[in-house]
Amino acid sequence: MSIAAFRRTLFCACTALLLAGPALAQPPATSPTAQQQVQAPARAVIEAAMKRAARFMTEEAAVNGGYVWQYLPDFSRRWGELEASPTMIWVQPPGTATVGHLFLDAYQATGDKWYLDAARTAAGALIKGQLPSGGWNYVIDTAGPEAEQRWYATYGRNAWRMEEFHHYYGNGTFDDAGTAEAAQLLLRLHLADRKDRTVHTALNKALSFILDAQYPNGGWPQRFPLVEDGGVHGRPDYTGYITFNDDVAGENLEVLIFAYQTLGDRKLLDPIRRGMDIFLATQQPQPQPAWGLQHFQDSLKPAGARTYEPEAFATHTTASNIKQLLAFYRLTGDGKYLSRVPEALEWLDKVQAPANLRAGGRTHPTFITIGEGRPLYLHRRGSNVINGEYYADGNPTELVGHYGSFRSIDTAGLRAEYERLAAIPGPEVSRGSPLLAKPGTYALPRYFSLRDVDVFDMIRPDAAITVPDPAQIAQILAGLNDRGYWPGLLTTTSNPYTGDGPGTPVGGEYRTTRVGDPSDTSPYTTDYPVEGISTQLFVHNMGELIKALGR
């Protein structure tokens, strides 16, 4: 249950196959021989490079203190998960809060208050875009709500596969960790300066948003406040269902546990406990003791979401929820969180993909029907959002290219971790738990952007940070160009918005492609990558330099 997983890859937990935005071609690794011959660069050289790169981002890339994911060098086009307008910033990682965390990490490593001010500026951009409810949408248009609605009616509406952007909801979302990451940045800044009333007020609003959105049974919807309309392609709106997809519940629990341990607010304990218990309540009975991406509020049965996310069990969500239950046992020492894990593991074994469909490391179909237990595979027809549609059936060929019909799940590893924890008595396994320890016992992890951070890192701060080789640092320093950014190849792009697509399919075959006809504004892999500016690469390289300072 961590936000950093978004930062280290393409920042999308739903599937490794989903290219959400322009990706980056990485440089080749340096040979061990070369690494041994390079001396560690001087601290002053590293800090100077960090400041140059950071100044470029704050002075050239930022819009009112906020960031998107990728830019062309002349800033004529820019992208978050979709192409962004020049006045937009992105909340969804690796956007504004991600950069804010990086700046705060740089301050921790250098003591240079310039970085603290830069982190505050990024947080200020988020605060300006914070909704009255206390949460955030995926994006903030600094030109105002009308400009944001125009973007939704053009770019968002025509991104065929990006159904979460087809409708302007006007409310906040827990999807893809944007709200959670922003709340964590505010918490870190509040702890750094408790006298800053602006940050304190915004943090309280964000925590209240998480608490207000939680259902009495402990679950969280994808979006809040709930809406009466907003369904997708004639289907009921799914954003009010209890959501596990993209680790919504896990991310909210992480924020609340961090806040409880550092702020000492005991009223957070009941929401935390209920948030953990909804995992138990939604695990279905035999013979299908598994979970879906989302669940209905009343029956607690699996629910459908986007049109390529059918009402079915989800194998990857089941695996993720097993991991969560193991973590809850470590946090509480309560054996109830382990009690039905073996059933879920046995179910995953039963629904494995047949041997002839396991190419490329895939082990399981993504979706399994309720009742019959048959795999469902994802398809589409048409050429754009106007004339096209998604559907699922039992045919494992001609699958959609942007959402995996198969998953790679390490069931053996999950079983081994379950057996290891089950052999440890509850009081012992939970000793030192940040949930059970007296508030104030632990501080937040020092760094949030360098690796995959979770609540257990309060117990083992900086334990997993590895210092890069001098040759790697030298390569990063050499790669910083004269303008002050690290150039990388943008291997994905998108069609510019030129108007709504035609009502009948046009040109070509789009069943397995990532993008439809020229009216489709969804991002896609290109055979003609161009050099550009990557927020992800900036965060990664700055993180490596921060690690080097720790040498």
User: What is the average pLDDT across 369-394?
Assistant: 98
pLDDT digits (tens, 9 = 90+) for 97-133: 999 999 999 999 999 999 999 999 999 999 999 999 9
Bridge partners of 90, per DSSP, are: 139
% of residues, the chain, pLDDT over 70: 91
Q: Which residues contact 201 (CB under 8 A, 6 or more apart)?
A: none
Cβ contact 505:496 at 8 Å: no
Distance separating alpha carbons of residues 59 and 288, to the nearest angstrom = 54
Nearest to 318 by CA among 351, 296, 361: 351
What stretch of H or E contains 406? strand 406-407
HEC profile for 516-539?
CCCCCCCEEEEEEEEEEEEHHHHH
b/e map 252-272, b = 16+ CB within 10 Å: bbbbbbbbbbbbeeeebeebb
Q: Is pLDDT above 50 for 1?
A: no
Number of domains the chain contains: 1
Query: Which residues, in sequence order, are bridge partners of residue 492?
Result: 525
The conformation of residue 467, written as its DSSP 8-state character, comes to: P
Which of 108-117, 189-198, 461-470, 539-548 has the least mean pLDDT? 461-470
Q: Check pLDDT > 50 for residue 487.
A: yes
In angstroms, the CA 105 to CA 116 distance is 9
H or E element in which residue 125 lies? helix 113-129
pLDDT at 467: 87
Distance separating alpha carbons of residues 323 and 418, to the nearest angstrom: 9
Q: How do residues 243-257 score in pLDDT, each as one tens digit?
A: 999 999 999 999 999
Cα–Cα distance for residue pair 263/200, rounded to 1 Å: 11
Cα separation, 334 vs 116, in Å, equals 40
| Mean pLDDT of the 44-58 span | 98
Overall average pLDDT of the 450-476 stretch: 88
Q: What is the mean pLDDT of residues 213-232?
A: 90
Q: What is the mean pLDDT of residues 350-377?
A: 97
Confidence band, pLDDT 50/70/90 cuts, at residue 505: very high
DSSP 428-466: HHTTT-TTTSPTTSSPPPS-SSSS---GGGGTSTTTT--
Q: What is the pLDDT of residues 398-432, one digit of tens each?
A: 999 999 999 999 999 999 999 999 999 999 999 99
**pTM, 2 dp:** 0.94
CB 264 within 8 A of CB 190: no
Confidence at 3, pLDDT banded by 50, 70, 90: low
Closest by CA to 302, choosing from 282, 280, 281, is 282
The answer to whether the CB of 307 falls within 8 A of the CB of 232 is yes
Range of the domain at 405: 4-549
* pLDDT at 399 (0 to 100): 98
- Count how many residues are written for the chain: 551
Tokens of 293: 């991406």
- Indicate the pairing of strand 24-25 with strand 389-393: unpaired
Question: Residue 517: which CATH number?
Answer: 1.50.10.20
Q: Report the mean per-residue pLDDT for the chain.
A: 92
- Minimal CA–CA distance to 211: which of 250, 169, 253, 263? 253
pLDDT, mean of residues 516-524: 97
Is the pLDDT at 527 greater than 60? The verdict is: yes
Distance separating alpha carbons of residues 546 and 412, to the nearest angstrom: 36
| Other Cβ atoms closer than 10 A to 7 | 27
**Cis peptide bond upstream of 22, omega within 30:** no
Distance of CA 285 to the CA centre of its chain: 30
Mean pLDDT computed over 477-502: 96
Looking only at the bridges linking them, the beta strands covering 389-393 and 70-71 are unpaired
Q: What is the pLDDT of residues 74-90, one digit of tens each?
A: 999 999 999 999 999 99
Q: Is 394 exposed, middle or buried (0-12, 13-18, 19+ CB in 10 A)?
A: exposed
